[in-house]
A and B are shown apart, each in its own frame.
Chain A
Amino acid sequence: MTALVHSAWPAQVGLLSGRAIKRILRNPAQMIFPIAFPLVLLAVNAAGLDAATRLPGFPTASYLDFALAVPFMQGALFAALNGGQDLARDIEGGFLDRLAMTPIGGAALLAGQLGGALFMGLVSAILYLVVGIAFGAGIASGAGGALVLVLLALAISFAFACFGTFVALRAGTGEAVQGFFPLFFVLLFLSSAFFPRDLIEQEWFRIIATYNPVSYMVEGIRSLVISGWDGQALAQAFAIAAIATVGFLALSARALRTRLVRT
């Protein structure tokens, strides 16, 4: 029996990912907002914070280039939020219990859920790249850099999606997941996403931004846009995404076990 379940693993993941992706595609509103919103915010910030480029020591002359990394992060967050909410709906509606009655293993269940988020992360990353370039952002690292950028964005999407899954499994309500999203969003704001770390005036904020792993994710993406190939920035970004993935995946697995025991 165990062997049978294991051999069916890829098929199960495929099945569940397929369902997650179908769910996204069947509700286009779910796609439009997550994709449009970061672009609007980018445009708005490029205007609202344009004055910052006049500060001495600002690394580029265009706030658009500086902030282009942010939509990729937000795209990843939205993908995670969306996945988490879908999962929460499954929990609230009792669908998870139904899945739990089937021979599908917990790992396949998680992987299927994450597949949807990964899909959404990919679609949005490619779009931001295209729109960013169309509106005059230059990618300093060239075409190869653009490819690495998309890969990094995917790694980050996956890490965040693991977090969304964890919250959904722990709290079990869509409102809780949705409530968490802005908070996560603010983690982005407590990083160097909007202001270069060395120009941050408040020391405590500079310290937070230095310890905030999101800073390094942003800086990894940003390095490809504004400064070309920067091995250290890239290594840091990928490493942090990997660590977050492993950590939240473990927490999710535990939360899933608790939930399936409890309900």
Chain B
Amino acid sequence: MSALARTRSVALAVAWRSIHNAFSNKAILLPSLLFPLFFFIAFAGGLSGIRNAPDFDYRSGYTTFQFAFICIQASAFGGVFTGFAIAADFEFGFARRLLLAAPNRAGIVIGYMLSAMVRAVFVLTVVFCAGLVSGMRVDGSLGHLLGLLALALAVSATATLWAAGIAMRLRTMQAGPVMQMPVFIALFLAPVFVPLHLVAGWVHDVARYNPFTALLEAARGFMAGEPTKIGLSAACLAALFALTVLWARGGLRSAERAG
């Protein structure tokens, strides 16, 4: 078998197992599904009053405004949750089996990444349906929605690589917050509740340079049928992906050194 085919075989095996576990263990799947759903409900429902603030100018409604955020957030957190599973694998020794069996260990990380993306598609579908049921306006076309999906999947892959890099370095489930917090903070240093120009103080200054701001604006543009910031988003994602690939590779090396 060629090296590429072997890597693919490993990736598929790891992805299969990770997806299988996620879907057969409610305790793993439910939080990663309910979490974005609840955030969607909480933000779209609880904070919608803020659209009455002067200068709030998103036209497709507050539910749509928040759905775009939830897409990005759910994808990012799906990746982080996958990182938890990786850390658990290392803590309980199962990762040794993977390390021993896989000729090309990059395949292991790719497998986890694939499983995160599959889970993201599932979660986004559910959240989207929930939005439709609650009367969310979708002004974007099918093409726009596919654009949004591509954006979300890229976020999912990047977040998985990020979390995997930590999971493989620290190899304990206690590393959970270390994976989660920075993603959380980066997400919330973007215009989550209101458009960028309504964000006040130092957060406004940070948000202007936060790549998640571009991703959010692109996602909201897709939902409103007025695509915007696509080039910038793609560039940000490409850069983040490249960085997290290096980060995860370093993590893999670290795991290999520790046996």
A residues with CB within 8 A of B = 27, 29-30, 33-34, 36-37, 40-41, 43-52, 54-55, 85, 89, 92, 171, 173-176, 178-180, 182-183, 186, 189-190, 194-195, 199-202, 204-205, 208-209
Interface residues of B in 155-191 (CB under 8 A from A): 173-174, 176-178, 181, 184-185, 188-189, 191
Known A-B contacts A49-B47, A55-B52; A179 and B27 likewise in contact (beta carbons under 8 Å) = yes
| B49→A51 contact, CB < 8 A | no
| A44→B189 contact, CB < 8 A | yes
| A175→B38 contact, CB < 8 A | no
| A40→B185 contact, CB < 8 A | yes
Query: What are 25 contact pairs spanning A and B, CB under 8 A?
Result: A29-B174, A30-B174, A30-B177, A43-B202, A44-B185, A47-B199, A47-B203, A49-B47, A49-B50, A50-B199, A51-B54, A51-B200, A52-B47, A52-B50, A54-B54, A85-B173, A175-B173, A186-B34, A189-B39, A189-B42, A190-B38, A190-B41, A200-B46, A205-B45, A208-B45
With beta carbons under 8 angstroms apart, the residue of B27, B34, B177 that contacts A175 is B27
Nearest-neighbour CB distance to chain B for A29, whole angstroms, equals: 7
Interface centre among B27, B56, B191, B192 (most CB of A within 10 A): B27
- Residues of chain A within 8 A (CB-CB) of B56 are 51
In the bound assembly, the distance between CA atoms of A51 and B191 in angstroms comes to 12
In the bound assembly, the distance between CA atoms of A29 and B182 in angstroms comes to 14
Known: A34-B177, A37-B185, A186-B35; 6 extra A-B contacts, CB below 8 A, are A40-B188, A51-B193, A175-B173, A186-B39, A189-B43, A190-B41
| B28→A179 contact, CB < 8 A | yes
Partner-contacting stretch, out of B81-89, B124-132, B240-248: B81-89
| B204→A195 contact, CB < 8 A | no
Nearest-neighbour CB distance to chain A for B232, whole angstroms, equals: 21
In the bound assembly, the distance between CA atoms of A52 and B56 in angstroms comes to 11
| B181→A175 contact, CB < 8 A | no
Known A-B contacts A46-B201, A200-B46; A51 and B174 likewise in contact (beta carbons under 8 Å) = no
In the bound assembly, the distance between CA atoms of A111 and B76 in angstroms comes to 37
In the bound assembly, the distance between CA atoms of A92 and B93 in angstroms comes to 13
- Residues of chain A within 8 A (CB-CB) of B176 are 178
| B188→A175 contact, CB < 8 A | no
With beta carbons under 8 angstroms apart, the residue of B27, B81, B184 that contacts A37 is B184
Nearest to B40 among chain A residues (CB) is A186
B194 at the interface (CB under 8 A from A): yes
Per-residue A-contact encoding for B58-94, CB less than 8 Å = 1, 0 else: 0000000000000000000100010011001000100
Nearest-neighbour CB distance to chain B for A234, whole angstroms, equals: 24
With beta carbons under 8 angstroms apart, the residue of B43, B45, B173, B178 that contacts A174 is B173
Nearest-neighbour CB distance to chain A for B195, whole angstroms, equals: 10
- Residues of chain A within 8 A (CB-CB) of B188 are 40-41, 44-45, 48
Number of A-B contacts (CB under 8 A): 136
> Can you list the 5 inter-chain pairs with the closest CB atoms, starting with the nearest?
A179-B31, A47-B203, A189-B42, A186-B38, A205-B45
Nearest to A172 among chain B residues (CB) is B27
| A175→B85 contact, CB < 8 A | yes
Nearest-neighbour CB distance to chain B for A204, whole angstroms, equals: 7
| A176→B48 contact, CB < 8 A | no
- Residues of chain B within 8 A (CB-CB) of A55 are 49-50, 52-53
In the bound assembly, the distance between CA atoms of A240 and B175 in angstroms comes to 33
Known A-B contacts A34-B177, A176-B27; A52 and B49 likewise in contact (beta carbons under 8 Å) = yes
Nearest to B27 among chain A residues (CB) is A176
B32 at the interface (CB under 8 A from A): yes
Nearest-neighbour CB distance to chain B for A47, whole angstroms, equals: 3
| B53→A182 contact, CB < 8 A | no
Interface residues of B in 120-164 (CB under 8 A from A): none
Nearest to B29 among chain A residues (CB) is A179
B198 at the interface (CB under 8 A from A): yes
With beta carbons under 8 angstroms apart, the residue of B35, B181, B203 that contacts A183 is B35
| A195→B47 contact, CB < 8 A | yes
B239 at the interface (CB under 8 A from A): no
In the bound assembly, the distance between CA atoms of A204 and B46 in angstroms comes to 9
Known A-B contacts A47-B204, A183-B34; A178 and B84 likewise in contact (beta carbons under 8 Å) = yes
- Residues of chain B within 8 A (CB-CB) of A175 are 27-28, 84-85, 88, 173
Nearest-neighbour CB distance to chain A for B189, whole angstroms, equals: 6
- Residues of chain A within 8 A (CB-CB) of B200 are 46-48, 50-51
| A178→B204 contact, CB < 8 A | no
Nearest-neighbour CB distance to chain B for A80, whole angstroms, equals: 14
With beta carbons under 8 angstroms apart, the residue of B31, B38, B181, B201 that contacts A50 is B201
Known A-B contacts A37-B184, A48-B188, A179-B81; A190 and B46 likewise in contact (beta carbons under 8 Å) = yes
- Residues of chain B within 8 A (CB-CB) of A36 are 181
